[in-house]
Structure 1
């Protein structure tokens, strides 16, 4: 895809792709407006939890307030965190691992409902460094999967042929 690899539109709306440049520092704030815990997981990285606190209105107005907590300049690294009910968690990571990485809820039903994001990290670096083995390309071709151009196998921003976005 050449220079177009850095444009998130090239991957199609179904991917929810967010393109990150090599070395870019990304901060995510995940809010939980529900009564369930959400175990959030980021593939390919160890991130830092930098802050957490209240988010939204808890069902019990008489509950004590949840304090906002921040961490030191060098917080612990991890790849999964839990967002408690009616709270938020802020995490930070550096785009230092070129590839395509999922960020999702570990509750399968939530993942299936779309609680997931795709990070396409340093695709310009990845396309220069990665060679896909011919056996994998052959497997895609046997299944009718196009292995070049954009997410639909077309050139440029022509996304004709992508499956419809689920409701």
Structure 2
């Protein structure tokens, strides 16, 4: 992609790509407004869960309201988490692994629902590290 490697338009509209800069800290809020558990997986990274709690105003009147929990002191790292029903989670990770990575729910039906993200991480760094066929 040359000097356009950081421009998401070159990857096409079908990719819905999110371009990440090298070593950028990414913070995401993931909400589950449903009464089903959703296992979420991030390829290529371990993330920290920094906060979780109820998805107000989505919590129905008859649902149990859980308190907000903030994990500020050394939150655990993982690559998979179950997002509880009527809850949100906040996660963060460092974009320190150049490549193309997916964030998705771990049930096939979720793909059909569009519940997946494609991160194109540090494509400028990645292309500069590629060995050309002339060098082989």
Note whether the superposition's TM-score is higher than 0.5: yes
Aligned to 1:39: 39
Q: Secondary structure at the match of 1:27?
A: strand
Shift of the alpha carbon at 1:58? 2.8
Q: Secondary structure at the match of 1:119?
A: strand
CA distance, structure 2, for counterparts of residue 70 and residue 38 of structure 1? 20
Structure 2 gaps, min length 5: none
TM-score (norm 1): 0.74
Deviations 1:24-55 (A, max 9, x none): 00001001111111111000001100000111
Q: Secondary structure at the match of 1:125?
A: helix
TM-score (norm 2): 0.90
4+ residue runs over 6 A deviation: none
Alpha-carbon RMSD: 1.5
Paired residues, what number?
132
- The structure with the largest alpha-carbon Rg is 1
Structure 1 gaps, min length 5: 134-167
Aligned to 1:141: none
Question: Is the strand fraction higher in 1 or 2?
Answer: 2
With CA pairs under 8 Å and 6+ residues apart, which has the higher RCO, 1 or 2?
Answer: 2
